[in-house]
Structure 1
Amino acid sequence: MKRDSKVLPVVGWRELVHLPELGLHGVPAKIDTGARTSSLHGTVIDTFKRDGQNYVRFAVDFPQHNVRQVCEAVHIDWRGITSSNGETQRRMIIKTPLQIGDVTFRAEISLADRSDMKFPMLIGRSSLRRRFVVDSGHSWLQTEGMTPVEGHKT
């Protein structure tokens, strides 16, 4: 087995992440190597075409702050995603830049109803692979100089 000699940054089991093209910054996210696809709490408002590409307009709610952020992203696919309870749901997939610490990359993210979840975003192993090492015993390792969103229970 060949090992990459590159030293990868370490993330904890929860991190604050940024989705700059969506205008979302400091989003609390759970790092979940058991999940393949990353997901974001989003309510689909509309789908439309722009310059021949399919787009989706959706809302991301932060109820603890009474904030609703309306976002637009390229809609790239529909996929069957199996949730932690074993149910498969057909979810809309977007692709947008995701920043964790100093690392920014384009990530595929499913839009899901995560209103019953503790974290509005989940980072799956496809986004982590070849970019990060996970230390499940620590939190906020890539959020230097930042604190978790005030009022967010961890």
Structure 2
Amino acid sequence: MAEARTLRVIGWRELVQLPELGLRAIPAKIDTGARTSSLHATILEEYARDGARYVRFAVDFPQQQVRQVCEAVQIDWRGVTSSNGETQLRRIIKTPLKIGPLRFRAEISLADRSDMRFPMLIGRSSLRRRFMVDSGHSWLQSPGREPERGHGP
């Protein structure tokens, strides 16, 4: 029998980091119904370097009036079904994701999430074998935030 693994408990929303992209304290909704994680991004440029496909994109944080420009290797194009049931062809990048003390590589789709409350969504592929979700709490793995009970605004 395989050794039991201890899973970290996370809330329905957490502050996460994408350290190689220079993004810290990103408000993210944890969504076990979504397969792939998604980041709000505006595509600025596609280019090739050393035989790899790259994408330069901007991540806007309207509340702080901040725009961060990022670059990453694009590993794939993938059809992703959004919350409204439409399938969109999206760019996929793979980059380290940090939730609490855990850092691991995650596949993330780049999408226009400007009409969503959270600039990032964490899907079940990133959660699997690492986290258990407590949907009645928030900020359980968010340094600098006091954990909250309930579903919040």
**TM-score, length-scaled by structure 2:** 0.93
Aligned to 1:138: 137
Tell me how far apart the structure 2 counterparts of residues 105 and 63 of structure 1 sit (CA, whole Å): 27
Tell me how far apart the structure 2 counterparts of residues 11 and 3 of structure 1 sit (CA, whole Å): 24
Secondary structure of the 1:64 match is coil
Aligned to 1:90: 89
Aligned to 2:68: 69
Deviation at 1:52, TM superposition (A): 1.4
Aligned to 2:29: 30
Aligned to 1:103: 102
Q: Which amino acid aligns with 1:105?
A: F
Aligned to 1:52: 51
Gaps in structure 2 of 5+ consecutive residues: none
Q: Which amino acid aligns with 1:86?
A: G
Tell me how far apart the structure 1 counterparts of residues 146 and 48 of structure 2 sit (CA, whole Å): 38
| CA gap 1:21/1:9 in 2 versus in 1, 3 angstroms | same
Deviation at 1:5, TM superposition (A): 1.2
Aligned to 2:124: 125
Aligned to 2:78: 79
Tell me how far apart the structure 1 counterparts of residues 120 and 146 of structure 2 sit (CA, whole Å): 16
Tell me how far apart the structure 2 counterparts of residues 4 and 101 of structure 1 sit (CA, whole Å): 23
Aligned to 1:12: 11
RMSD of equivalent CA atoms:
1.6
Any idea what the Cα deviations from partners look like across 1:5-55, whole Å, max 9, x if unmatched? 121111100000000010000000000000000000001110111221111
Tell me how far apart the structure 2 counterparts of residues 60 and 144 of structure 1 sit (CA, whole Å): 22
Work out the percentage of aligned pairs sharing the same amino acid.
74
Q: Which amino acid aligns with 2:12?
A: W
Gaps in structure 1 of 5+ consecutive residues: none
Any idea what the Cα deviations from partners look like across 1:67-100, whole Å, max 9, x if unmatched? 1100000100000000111100000000000000
Structure having the larger proportion of residues in strand: 2
